[in-house]
Structure formats: structure tokens, C-alpha cells
Amino acid sequence: MLPDLAAMQVLGSRIAAALQPGDVVALAGGLGAGKTTLARAILAGLGYAAEVPSPTFAIIEQYLPPTVRLPLVHADFYRLRDPADAAELGLDDYRAGAALVAEWPEMVGGFAHEPGCLSILLETADEGRIAIVEPGADWLGRWG
Ligand SMILES: Nc1ncnc2c1ncn2[C@@H]1O[C@H](COP(=O)(O)OP(=O)(O)OP(=O)(O)O)[C@@H](O)[C@H]1O
Ligand SMILES: [Mg+2]
């Protein structure tokens, strides 16, 4: 249960503490479910202190040390219609050595087949949110 923004910060910090290069945090959920809010909380947990834009229009935003503990790519695939579009944007190059936080992962075929994927489905519940978390194989020792 994520009753408020403070709860999003706690979850984001926990993900950031466990996050490693090559991982994907796949943030699913409808419009306004809280995906960008959680992405911002993860970036804050990685040490990023400045404002984080929603990548809805840029699609991909890149964060590099020393402003973050490890390289992070924040992507919002809402406007894409085909997994090939992500390849065209150079997603694989951005991902090299970096972790990926992806909003609307289903628009590019999803990442749940990757062992480094932490799948999170956000849903509205009353005033707050519920998160359903499914860790990939690489996360099993890190997420308990
Ligand atoms: N746990 C929470 N409790 C209450 N409000 C929340 C919570 N998480 C996020 N919100 C609020 O929900 C609104 C939408 O959040 P956000 O922009 O993160 O959604 P999103 O899933 O990224 O939407 P979009 O699909 O449009 O990109 C914001 O006003 C945010 O403050
Ligand atoms: Mg968003």
C-alpha cells in the first residue's frame, strides 16, 4: 500500500538501494497511476537532487554519475507503437552499463522476460496507490 507521496519515496529509496546496471524497473499502470512519481523517487534515492522532467515527450532521459550513484535511463514509451521504435531511438546504447526505469513498458513489448526486470504495476486505490511487485530472477536475493 502506498497511501501517499511519502510512501512512494520509501519504495523508490528501497529500489534505488538495490538497483544495479543492466536492471530494468518496468512501471506499468494507467494514466496518473504514479509511474513518474516513483521514477523520481528512485532517482532521488540514487542521489539525484535536481528536478526530474517527465520524459513523455523526450521519451528517453539519461542520468550519469556523479549526479547519480549509477547511470540511469528514464524512458516513457507511451507515444511509441512498435518495439522497433525503441531500437530506433538507440535504447540498447543508452542501456549499456546503465539501469533502466521504463514507463509504459508494454508499448515496446515489455521487459519481464529479462532476469534483471523488477515489474511494478501501480493502481489507484482510494486517495493512494497499490503496487504489485514481481521481481525477476536476478532480484530474488535482493528483494525480500
Ligand atoms: N501514492 C500516491 N498517493 C497519492 N497520490 C499520488 C501517489 N503517487 C502519485 N500520486 C499523484 O498522482 C498524480 C499522477 O502521478 P504521475 O504523474 O506519477 O503518474 P504517471 O503514472 O506517470 O502518469 P502518466 O501515465 O500520465 O505518465 C500526481 O499528481 C502524483 O502526485
Ligand atoms: Mg508519467
pLDDT tens profile 80-116? 988 899 999 999 999 999 999 999 999 999 999 999 9
Tell me the angle at which helices 5-18 and 35-45 cross, rounded to the nearest 10 degrees.
50
Question: What pLDDT score was predicted for residue 58?
Answer: 85
> CA–CA separation, 19 vs 4, rounded Å?
23
Question: What pLDDT score was predicted for residue 86?
Answer: 93
Measuring from atom 13 of ligand 1, which residue has the nearest CA?
A: 32
Measuring from atom 9 of ligand 1, which residue has the nearest CA?
A: 34
What is the atom index within ligand 1 of the atom nearest the CA of 30?
A: 25
> CA–CA separation, 27 vs 75, rounded Å?
10
Ligand 1 in reach of 74 Cβ (< 6 A): no
Assign domain 5-137 one CATH number from 3.40.50.620, 2.40.50.180, 3.40.50.300, 3.20.20.80.
3.40.50.300
Question: What pLDDT score was predicted for residue 121?
Answer: 98
Burial label, 6 (beta-carbon count in 10 A; 0-12, 13-18, 19+): exposed
**Does the structure show a pLDDT above 80 at 144?**
no
Q: What is the pLDDT of residues 50-61, one digit of tens each?
A: 999 998 888 999
**Does the structure show a pLDDT above 80 at 124?**
yes
48 DSSP 8-state letter: -
Question: What pLDDT score was predicted for residue 1?
Answer: 86
Confidence (pTM): 0.97
For ligand 1, pick from 35, 37, 101, 107 the residue to mutate: most ligand atoms within 8 Å of CB: 37
C-alpha to C-alpha distances, 122 to 29, 34, 38, 97, nearest whole angstrom: 5, 7, 10, 27
Ligand 1 in reach of 33 Cβ (< 6 A): yes
Task: Over range 35-45, report the average pLDDT.
Answer: 98
> CA–CA separation, 112 vs 66, rounded Å?
29
Domain ranges of the chain: 5-137
Which triple of cell numbers denotes residue 98?
Answer: 546503465
Which triple of cell numbers denotes residue 14?
Answer: 528501497
Ligand 1 in reach of 41 Cβ (< 6 A): no
Ligand 1 in reach of 52 Cβ (< 6 A): no
What is the atom index within ligand 1 of the atom nearest the CA of 8?
A: 1
